[in-house]
């Protein structure tokens, strides 16, 4: 992959990540607290919000690992298809969960800026 191809891929992912974070943020969180979903699950499971967020992220990592181990990623290299998340969307979700995980850590540590 040359530099131009990589930059095109990077731009595609950055754009889609922002769209997914906004869409799923409205779906799972509230306007007043982007971490509300993790906090609610945390209260139900007696886990910390940071653990819940990590668990959600691991679900996507597991799907990615299984696809790569089976070498079945080519047939799943899309954003979504008939309601199914493709590997591209899972990678974006992982990156977005990493950002949400950072937010959970900052809030837990009391260092929100």
Residue range 16-52, pLDDT digits in tens:
999 988 888 776 666 778 899 999 999 999 999 999 9
- Say whether pTM exceeds 0.75: yes
User: Residue 101 has what pLDDT?
Assistant: 96
* Residue 113's pLDDT band (cuts 50, 70, 90): low
pLDDT over threshold 90, residue 62:
yes
The H or E element containing residue 80 is strand 80-81
Q: Report helix angle 87-109 to 49-70, nearest 10.
A: 160
Residue numbers of the domain that contains 20: 3-109
Cβ–Cβ under 8 Å, residues 35 and 29: yes
Give the chain's domain count.
Answer: 1
- Is pLDDT at 112 greater than 70 in this prediction? no
Average pLDDT value for the chain: 90
Share of the chain above pLDDT 90, in %: 67
- The confidence band for 104, taking pLDDT boundaries of 50, 70 and 90, is very high
- Locate tokens 């070498």: which residue? 71
Question: d(Cα 63, Cα 46) in Å, to the nearest integer?
Answer: 26
Region class of 99: left (phi > 0), else alpha (psi between -120 and 50), else beta: alpha
């Amino acid at each position: 992959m040359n530099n131009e191809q990589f930059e095109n891929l990077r731009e595609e992912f950055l754009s889609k990540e922002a769209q997914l974070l906004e869409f799923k943020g409205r779906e799972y969180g509230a306007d007043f607290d982007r971490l509300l979903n993790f906090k609610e699950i945390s209260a139900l499971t007696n886990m910390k919000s940071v653990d819940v967020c990590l668990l959600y992220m691991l679900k996507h990592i597991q799907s990615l690992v299984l696809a790569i181990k089976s070498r079945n990623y080519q047939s799943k290299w899309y954003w979504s298809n008939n309601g199914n998340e493709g590997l591209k969307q899972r990678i974006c979700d992982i990156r977005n969960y990493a950002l949400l995980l950072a937010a959970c850590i900052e809030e837990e540590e009391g260092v929100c800026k």
